Structure 1
């Protein structure tokens, strides 16, 4: 097998595993690669789903008009497995990148999407670093039997990516002198998160402190050393979490057992798990690393993503204050419905005279600029039916029923709220409907189409031909 054919196989398996893994950890994600095998080789690009399209000017500036990306390389150094390249030049909007050199591959740079609802890009960067290392190893080994297992490793790498990022950050702050072992901590967090107590999911904070720092804490309650609950006893720890629910108190652990209860403030190296019922957030110090739900880690921060609504409002002729007010009020109402785990529908009506919608009308519209009225409006989202809001930032009705003729984009898997909104907006083009499902997804719908819908990217099952050079790709 030629070196180009083997490189194509390596790249395909690594990219397929990385893309699939990141799509489960975040939302659907694309991946692209720039690479040169030897110092004199042209830089090639493998971008099967056009992730890097529209970034051609920046790529040309960095890689074609300049040779700075080649500087500092020592390709003949066979003792070096891989060298990660830290550079700010690759700051492409909306993308996460990771560049590396190794003795087997002169240069490689991986790219993926930076989704707006990510807690942190850190675990994703660790994932891409591992992909770069595996590609270098597989190409150096020239063993075709390794390729499929490499792709599988990258698909299932989420917990390892979270662990790698936490370890890297703690080592950067405090060096290698640490007694906390991250894998048992992550296993315990997932185990506790899926353990119910009297039918209820876990709530409250569990914080992991370096053993050498435990004595400096002020404890509200501390357990004798020989009677401390073991961290691996998920049921016992779940019971203890009831003592810190809805408070500033935290269960304190040394990574092996629960030491006591304290109201301590997280340090830069402490690891915290904030259990919020069916889901939770993992933090390193004050920084959110990732979330967890259904016994898996995810990049999402569970905050409603209304970026598409904000962009759409900019295209509608509105007074600047009213546009800002509408977005802020919609954001708060959606966040309230999401946090309380109930669905809701908001109708944003931009007609000069609001349309008539069947439902509970009001003698005098409710002015959302009044703080007390805003609280009432949030409560009205709990009722079945939609809340009708005009362009003047007033509520004209609630418990509204949306109807209309069937449209082509209906999805029977999304329920009545979603499909009714599609039908209604198809017949009322000057209206935007926001649908919040009880299981958290938020949909922005206008003119019978979901503006927040994600594309189904075509999956490629082989990298058959050698990818084009970057210059050829830019000229296409």
Structure 2
């Protein structure tokens, strides 16, 4: 039997490490846990940052009004250390979840946030599963000397989460009969991504094919067996990538060496690294797994997060078709600025008569619904100053200067674009400004407030009391 104080410390250290690790892999993330140590115990909840607030009706229906989550556990008779539990009813909006049973913990269910720009939920699900495994092990061993080591493991789990997800998915397709080792591939991808050639970052595709499937590849060029570049020679592979830049060709590797160059499609179990300069993407077959940059993996798909803009547009009294067109136009302009690594500012003006803004005006506004005009607008975003877009979906000016009086919420670390947008919107109605920084973060500003601002969740330093029962948490 695990003492309450020991159990509380185990939960705290694992929760803290999990939250910190996921926050570095994705955006700042909250985590929560539902658990029952023994079959007859009430289910308890540890949710220090209110991740599950708003989901009380679903949790009450599943865990308090029903006992369907209990049958089939047989937790004292299990031969496996841990068994992952699937539950479609717990696919809560905006959350990723993983449940498990084990000999030491009758039931546990982990939760974290489903950020809108994830390449895949797979690595995060593997991360939650590993947290469940570590908590089961800590409860089973009750070793006070290793009580915080689980948290350290979870903080640094990013590469392992990517590897575990890839291995699990490949095993489902082809079983255990594989000659490819995933860890060396991931090490090579990160090594190549941080290796410059003549001052340029890597671009092009490197695909890893199972050795038994290489005979089915139609190579454009194939290297002799005794002259194949080794994958661990990052500098050499980086040089070879120049031969497939801006083409449909790929470098083909068996996981140990570069075999040759081919124009081939991904197979059901192939792994592809798509290098795009300062960042890149990792694919399993045709499906994205994660991205990589600065010699580390992350979850982001590098698409602009415009969820708040969608919400603002819904609230405005504009035609649904115009709303849809406006979002498409803004999304293309923001994506273009992000991919070209230049900042820009877009002023969305929803007044019937566009406001006057100092800058380069036009004799006739440009209709951004026309492809050629939209292309011109993408180029105009590179100029200093803001691009002025009206409610009529026309571009009314560019190189615009935004002025206004100082407001609370300014941040000198964010630069002139951001702070000017705060000042400008604080004094004008029906104006939304989108600021794209050169390093890709997107800010949406209205009424002098950044709608995309991230909350700084309060840090928890200990779990000194036993978490409350779920019923008490729902009905305090």
| Residue in 2 that maps onto 1:408 | 408
Task: Confirm or deny: 8 A CA contact 2:10 2:148 kept in the other structure.
Answer: no
Instruction: Supply the distance in 1 between the matched residues of 2:204 and 2:459 (Cα, whole angstroms).
Output: 41
Q: Deviations over 1:250-301 (max 9, x none)?
A: 0000000100000100012000000000000000001000000000000000
How far does residue 407 in structure 1 lie from its aligned partner after superposition? 1.1
| Residue in 2 that maps onto 1:10 | 10
| Residue in 2 that maps onto 1:151 | 151
SS of residue paired to 1:52 = coil
Instruction: Supply the distance in 2 between the matched residues of 1:263 and 1:80 (Cα, whole angstroms).
Output: 45
2:326 aligned with 1:314: no
Per the normalisation by structure 2, the TM-score is: 0.99
| Residue in 1 that maps onto 2:229 | 229
| Residue in 2 that maps onto 1:65 | 65
How far does residue 79 in structure 1 lie from its aligned partner after superposition? 2.8
| Residue in 2 that maps onto 1:172 | 172
| Residue in 2 that maps onto 1:252 | 252
Q: Deviations over 1:130-162 (max 9, x none)?
A: 000000000111111111111000000000000
| Residue in 2 that maps onto 1:328 | 328
How far does residue 2 in structure 1 lie from its aligned partner after superposition? 6.8
Structure 2 alignment gaps of length 5 or more: none
Instruction: Supply the distance in 2 between the matched residues of 1:445 and 1:200 (Cα, whole angstroms).
Output: 35
Per the normalisation by structure 1, the TM-score is: 0.99
How far does residue 215 in structure 1 lie from its aligned partner after superposition? 1.0
| Residue in 1 that maps onto 2:214 | 214
Instruction: Supply the distance in 2 between the matched residues of 1:2 and 1:277 (Cα, whole angstroms).
Output: 51
Q: Deviations over 1:408-428 (max 9, x none)?
A: 111111111111111111111
Q: Deviations over 1:35-85 (max 9, x none)?
A: 000000000000000000000000011101110000111111253200101
Q: CA RMSD in A?
A: 0.9
SS of residue paired to 1:24 = helix
Q: How does 1:31-430 map to 2 (within 5 A)?
A: 31-77=31-77, 79-430=79-430
Instruction: Supply the distance in 1 between the matched residues of 2:217 and 2:144 (Cα, whole angstroms).
Output: 54
Instruction: Supply the distance in 1 between the matched residues of 2:391 and 2:441 (Cα, whole angstroms).
Output: 25
Structure 1 alignment gaps of length 5 or more: none
SS of residue paired to 2:412 = coil
How far does residue 429 in structure 1 lie from its aligned partner after superposition? 2.5
SS of residue paired to 1:12 = helix
Q: Deviations over 1:175-219 (max 9, x none)?
A: 000000000000000000000000000000000000000111000
Q: Deviations over 1:338-394 (max 9, x none)?
A: 111111110000111111111000111111122211111111111111000000101
How far does residue 320 in structure 1 lie from its aligned partner after superposition? 1.4
Instruction: Supply the distance in 2 between the matched residues of 1:325 and 1:78 (Cα, whole angstroms).
Output: 56
2:463 aligned with 1:453: no
